[in-house]
Structure 1
Amino acid sequence: MSVLEALIFGIVQGISEFLPISSTAHIIIAQFLFGRTFSGLSFEVILHLGSIVAVVLYFRRDCIQLTRTFFRYIKERRSMDRPEFFFGLYIITATFITGFLGILLEDVLAGTMKTPLFIAAALTLTGVFLILIERVHEIGNRTETEMTFMDSIIVGLAQTIAVIPGISRSGSTLIAALYAGLNRKTAVRYSFLLSIPVIAGSSVLAFEDLTVGGMASIGTMPLAIAFLASFVTSWIGIVWLINFLNSGRLLYFALYCFALAIVTITFIDNIPSTPGG
């Protein structure tokens, strides 16, 4: 793999990971365009590590505070720590649901998920739901202190569907949280913090494919470039999305998903090679 290709894959991963446009779909489409087949999951693990490092560093204060408050409540039962304790439980609940059901769903759909037609259909579905949540459903005003386990179950189930390329993980969690009646600020914080154990968990599960041979076939420099590009652009994506959602509209992301679906089915579907890995 050339340094330029690694740079492009890193940028694609970083920019699309936290925007509601499906990073998995973008990586697969990029593979089609470059005629690339990744051997194992070594390269994908490196790409995801860049994103996970970015989100952990960006939300480091939230992570430290949430962890400290969570265990302090277990030990001291201070009432002031109760909201953050339950917020942590809601993250754990949604993560468990996603992890358990996601593995089952991926096994069932593994053979059919990476075709251009499937990806285009999933992108279209993502766009439809982005429009529905903004145009049809009234955004709620509930905060973290008013969350319930039902909210975490709804978000966890929605996030599970994101195992399908084209169904955005960040999009599905944002849509589900807003549908449940959470306000935008709470939905965004919950979605981002929930991404940490989910992305980290999927990377850990893929570590068995992180072989010396697989990494050597890619090259040290391309791997380093891909990681740095993923890290930097993931950080940019996080900052941009948070600022955008304060005043922007999800409609723009929906239109992008529709456009990408059309491009995928019109052009990518005519490319004979099918990426694997």
Structure 2
Amino acid sequence: MIGWLEAVVLGLIQGLTEFLPISSSAHIRVVSAFFGWQDPGAAFTAVIQLGTEAAVLIYFRKDIWTIISTWTRALWTPELRGHPAAKMGWFVIAGTIPIAVLGITFKDEIETVFRDLRLIGTTLIVFGLVLWFADHTARNKLTLQKHLSLTHALIYGVAQSLALIPGVSRSGGTITAGLLLDYRREEAARYSFLLAIPAVLASGVLELFEIGEGQAPAWGPTILATIISFIVGYAAVAWFLKYISTHRFTGFVIYRILLGVFVIAAVSLGWIPA
């Protein structure tokens, strides 16, 4: 079972890594294995992500309110249907469809085989290289308000669904897709965070029913980890958006590759179980 110390450590890791393109779920899985802790499982990971998602809701509260209110009013006010905020509402809904479908379809695999550390190490390396390629070939010029379309929203959504495999990274996958579509780095990150809201909230709420049952962690440590992830996550999202406005993702790519190599080596040498 997850203890109080594990809750503090894993809450910090979730808050620090959720918005960075390095995969928070991979870090939670790897750190737990390295310290000999029980795998906290997909339910615990999904629930503590509610903490970091709360940080997004507060950080982007003005944007989110504008999108929700305009989209809602546009349902019965035709002249508002072409408003960027109303269209953004539909784009977020459309972009959520792929992860909803795949999440339900592969629920058993997400909770079992997708958590294999050899797979996680491989995805850290492979998708790190894909991010590097996207970052160094992107023209970094498109904006969400002028260029986001239904097709682009669905492409973002498919990229987000790849994060069902720990090691891919929700933000890393969607930002990579945005860069390949030639969006500016900060624009790709902003849409990545907005797109994650429905998926993370839905997943976290559904998994709430698993907490405290069977092998799932108890409520106390889970709540503590969620609170910590919220506090740390709010600071992390502010720093990340400022950082990528003037920096490439090279540092994150190098880190992903090194961590992936370490994970695969550690499993191969028997230092940690797969």
Do Structure 1 and Structure 2 share a fold, with TM-score over 0.5?
A: yes
Partner of 2:244: 245
1:65 paired with 2:72, answer no
Q: Deviations over 1:78-121 (max 9, x none)?
A: 35862211111110001012211233245456543222211111
Task: Give the count of matched residue pairs.
Answer: 272
Q: Deviations over 1:147-183 (max 9, x none)?
A: 1111011111111111111101101111112212322
Pairwise mapping of residues 1-277 of structure 1 onto structure 2 (< 5 A)? 1-38=2-39, 43-79=44-80, 82-108=83-109, 111-211=112-212, 218=218, 220=220, 222-269=221-268, 270-273=270-273
CA gap of 1:111–1:38, structure 2 versus 1, over 3 A, is closer
Offset, 1:61? 1.2
Offset, 1:24? 1.0
Q: Deviations over 1:10-54 (max 9, x none)?
A: 011111111100111111102202222257655334412211211
Give the residue type in structure 1 aligned to 2:208: F
Give the residue type in structure 2 aligned to 1:37: Q
| Structure 1 residues not aligned, in runs of 5+ | none
CA distance in 2, matches of 1:106, 1:214: 17
CA distance in 2, matches of 1:41, 1:114: 9
Matched residue of 1:36: which SS? coil
Is 1:46–1:226's contact at 8 Å kept on the other side of the alignment?
no
CA gap of 1:254–1:115, structure 2 versus 1, over 3 A, is same
CA gap of 1:41–1:24, structure 2 versus 1, over 3 A, is closer
Is 2:41–2:111's contact at 8 Å kept on the other side of the alignment?
no
CA distance in 1, matches of 2:103, 2:272: 29
Matched residue of 1:259: which SS? helix
Offset, 1:207? 2.6
CA distance in 2, matches of 1:49, 1:186: 23
Q: Deviations over 1:198-235 (max 9, x none)?
A: 111111231331236777x6463x33431221111111
Matched residue of 1:206: which SS? helix
| Structure 2 residues not aligned, in runs of 5+ | none
Give the residue type in structure 2 aligned to 1:112: V
CA distance in 1, matches of 2:151, 2:61: 27
CA distance in 2, matches of 1:26, 1:190: 23
Is 1:33–1:268's contact at 8 Å kept on the other side of the alignment?
no
CA distance in 2, matches of 1:230, 1:36: 19
CA gap of 1:132–1:262, structure 2 versus 1, over 3 A, is same
